[in-house]
């Protein structure tokens, strides 16, 4: 299946808003696992019928700046504890490619980020292809578990 369009929206089980439940990083060399954004990270992932997507993730217990304009050391800590990007996406069986138009990390802008997914009910597990982390430079893969956001009953 190619890029998702409004016509194909009915076939796209990823459509909608997803709330981050967990984010684990697994190191390729050792198999070690850790939570780079803490045990209770925050985030949302959106897949829209027009083929656009966006993701924002933030760590738990982020630094609270002392003033309205964060000091340089506060900015560094805030940057290290978040990820955000948006673009278009192409859906394939078990795989979604994020075509990044804009990103927190300019090195991602203009790239294709490969994501493997498993969908079980309202739980979406996304695993990245092995890659070097833009935070620590170590080779690993990320495992993100998302829960579908349902509209409140009216």
**Residue 94 falls inside a structural domain:** yes
CATH code: domain of residue 75: 2.40.128.490
**Inside any domain, residue 96:** yes
Calculate the CA 19 to chain-centre distance. 10
* Structural domain boundaries, residue 64: 6-148
Q: How far is CA 86 from CA 26, 55, 65, 131, in A?
A: 24, 6, 26, 19
The residues, ordered by sequence, that sit 6+ positions from 6 with a Cβ below 8 Å of its Cβ are 49, 50
Q: pTM of the full predicted structure?
A: 0.86
The answer as to whether 69 is a domain residue is yes
Give 32-86 pLDDT, tens digit per residue: 999 989 999 999 999 999 999 999 999 998 988 899 999 999 989 998 899 999 9
37 in a structural domain: yes
Q: What is the dihedral of CA 102, 16, 19, 145, to 10 degrees?
A: -90
The reply to whether 130 falls in a domain is yes
Give domain status of residue 153, yes or no. Answer: no
**DSSP type of residue 11:** G
The domain tally of the chain equals 1
């Amino acid at each position: 299946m190619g890029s998702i369009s409004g016509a194909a929206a009915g076939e796209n089980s990823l459509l909608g808003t997803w709330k981050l439940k967990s984010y684990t990083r697994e190191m390729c060399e050792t198999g070690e696992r850790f939570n780079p954004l803490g045990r209770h990270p925050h985030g949302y992932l959106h897949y829209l019928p027009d083929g656009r997507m966006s993701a924002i993730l933030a760590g738990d217990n982020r630094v609270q700046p002392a003033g309205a304009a964060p000091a340089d050391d506060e900015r560094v800590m805030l940057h290290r504890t978040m990820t955000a990007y948006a673009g278009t996406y192409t859906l394939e069986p078990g795989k979604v490619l994020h075509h990044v138009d804009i990103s927190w990390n300019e090195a991602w802008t203009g790239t294709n980020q490969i994501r493997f997914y498993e969908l079980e009910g309202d739980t979406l597990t996304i695993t990245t292809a092995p890659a070097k982390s833009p935070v620590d430079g170590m080779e690993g893969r990320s495992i993100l578990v998302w829960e579908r956001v349902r509209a409140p009953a009216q």
